Amino acid sequence: IAAECPSGCPEQEYTTSLPVWELLDDDVLLANEFDGEPVAPEHGYPLRLVVPKKYAYKSAKWVRRLRFTANQEIGFWEQRGYSNTADPWKEERYL
């Protein structure tokens, strides 16, 4: 699944992707509210993706669209040399 988040600069749109089985983990959040209020813009309105078991660049603020893809896509940070698996316990931060 790929998360798309507008950055205001079309040639540098933020994207990240994870296999669906990782997004189904019990601690992954797709949050549109916090304490009964909409997520504030500075914290990711309209939708924030939080993936606690991965490095923070696999989470995303300002999610506008989730796309189901046949293969995992290379996202914004992965195009810049970061690991696509992003497992902090295996120190998989960089390629």
10-43 confidence digits (pLDDT tens) = 667 889 999 999 999 999 999 999 999 999 999 9
Question: Do the domain assignments include residue 35?
Answer: yes
* Two tokens, residue 34: 């916090």
Range 58-62 contact pairs with CB under 8 angstroms and sequence separation of 24 or more: 58/16, 58/18, 58/86, 59/16, 60/3, 60/5, 60/14, 60/16, 61/5, 62/5, 62/6, 62/14
Question: Do the domain assignments include residue 20?
Answer: yes
Res 12: pLDDT: 72
**Which range of residues forms the domain containing residue 50?**
2-90
Backbone angles phi and psi of 12, in degrees to 5: -135, 40
68-80 confidence digits (pLDDT tens) = 999 999 999 999 9
pTM: 0.88
Whichever domain contains 78, its CATH number is: 3.90.420.10
The total number of structural domains in the chain stands at 1
Q: Tokens 């509210």 appear where?
A: 33
Question: Do the domain assignments include residue 29?
Answer: yes
Backbone angles phi and psi of 16, in degrees to 5: -150, 155
Res 91: pLDDT: 93
Question: Do the domain assignments include residue 68?
Answer: yes
Question: Do the domain assignments include residue 95?
Answer: no
